């Protein structure tokens, strides 16, 4: 099932994807039973039915081709940083580009949503602890990057710079999270394509790795990195990050 969290007529609702006219995901069936078309809703990050995240973990350079694109050696262990919930925004929302920066790029990322408390989980059992998956577009402002292993807060923790959604898709509906096609378009032009099979550190590994030294809680997010093909995004650009089975996350730069 695909879950959404939206605002409609001044109230917040949870809902699920609804097909209309042969078009999957054309509308949302709200928790009160009403069916509303996508463009009539204000979309929020799809954090329900799980709790809001206590911890947001994000991987850098988790695709070898992206590391090569940035002229950086692929990491031998996960390169991870922490993000705040303030960074999150929803589908069809705006992301602000600071007026004085030279290079701000998208990052299409498969995002793991933790489903239950996880501590010292073995890799083979990792999928039992996942509620589902969503898409993150984890914008980076390269101007402020000082060190890949310790990215400046202004690179990755700015308000509205991590669109999330549109759906939280139940883990049971994703047969293999390590075989999903990814794509990004800017103003309709394909600028990035890849596949989760090319991750350096896969979904099971990441659950095992993080839970070996910290307790993951329901609702926590793990952003798993992006393939190569990032380009600078300017005000007015419409950026669509898509992952097979998860939908199309639309975002506009202002």
Residue pair 165/135 in contact by the 8 Å Cβ criterion? yes
pLDDT of residue 178: 97
Cis peptide before 166 (omega within 30 of 0): yes
* 226 CB-near residues (< 8 Å, 6+ apart): 62, 63, 66, 106, 107, 108, 109, 138, 182, 192, 194
pLDDT of residue 111: 98
pLDDT tens per residue, the chain (254 residues)?
A: 999 999 999 999 999 999 998 999 999 999 999 999 999 999 999 998 889 999 999 998 899 876 566 566 677 899 999 999 999 999 999 999 999 899 999 999 999 999 999 999 999 999 999 999 999 999 999 888 776 555 667 788 899 999 999 999 999 999 999 999 999 999 999 999 999 999 999 999 999 999 999 999 999 999 999 999 999 999 999 999 999 999 999 999 99
**Domains in the chain: ranges and CATH:** 1-44 (2.30.30.370), 45-253 (3.90.850.10)
Cα–Cα distances in angstroms (integers) from residue 109 to residues 97, 146, 222, 241, in the given order: 20, 22, 10, 8
How many other CB atoms are there within 10 angstroms of residue 63's CB atom? Answer: 25
Residue with tokens 């073995």: 122
Question: What is the bridge-based pairing of β-strands 189-195 and 130-137?
Answer: unpaired
Q: Percent helix, strand and coil across the chain, each rounded to 5? A: 15, 45, 40
pLDDT of residue 68: 65
Report the largest interatomic distance among the alpha carbons of the chain, rounded to a whole angstrom.
Answer: 51
Q: Is 10 exposed, middle or buried (0-12, 13-18, 19+ CB in 10 A)?
A: exposed
CA angle 161, 221, 97 (to 5 degrees): 5
Q: What is the DSSP string of 148-188?
A: TTS--HHHH--TT-EEEEEEEEEGGG-S-TTS-EEEEEETT
Q: How far apart are CA 35 and CA 15, in angstroms?
A: 9
Q: How far apart are CA 168 and CA 200, in angstroms?
A: 24
pLDDT of residue 61: 87
Q: Dihedral of CA 196/199/202/203: which sign?
A: negative
> Of all helices (H) and strands (E), which one includes residue 65?
helix 64-69
């Amino acid at each position: 099932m695909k879950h959404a969290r939206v605002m409609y007529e001044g109230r917040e609702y949870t809902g699920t994807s609804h097909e209309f006219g042969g078009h999957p995901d054309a509308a949302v069936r709200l928790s009160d039973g009403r069916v509303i078309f996508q463009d009539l809703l204000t979309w929020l990050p799809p954090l329900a039915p799980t709790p809001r995240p206590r911890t947001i973990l994000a991987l850098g350079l988790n695709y070898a081709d992206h590391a090569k694109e940035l002229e950086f050696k692929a990491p031998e262990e996960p390169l991870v940083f922490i993000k705040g919930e303030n960074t999150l925004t929803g589908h069809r929302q705006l992301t602000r580009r600071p007026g004085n920066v030279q290079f701000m790029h998208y990052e299409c990322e498969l995002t793991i949503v933790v489903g239950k408390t996880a501590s010292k989980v073995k890799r083979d059992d990792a999928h039992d602890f996942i509620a589902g998956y969503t898409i993150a577009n984890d914008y980076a402002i390269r101007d402020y990057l000082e060190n890949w292993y310790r990215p400046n807060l202004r690179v990755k923790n700015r308000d509205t710079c991590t669109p999330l959604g549109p759906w939280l898709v139940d883990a049971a509906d994703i047969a293999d999270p390590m075989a999903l096609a990814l794509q990004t378009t800017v103003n309709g032009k394909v600028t990035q394509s890849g596949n989760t099979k090319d991750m350096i550190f896969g979904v099971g590994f990441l659950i095992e790795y993080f839970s070996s030294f910290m307790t993951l809680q329901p609702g926590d997010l793990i952003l798993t990195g992006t393939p190569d093909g990032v380009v600078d995004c300017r005000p007015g650009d419409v950026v669509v990050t898509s992952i097979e089975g998860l939908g199309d996350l639309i975002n506009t730069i202002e």
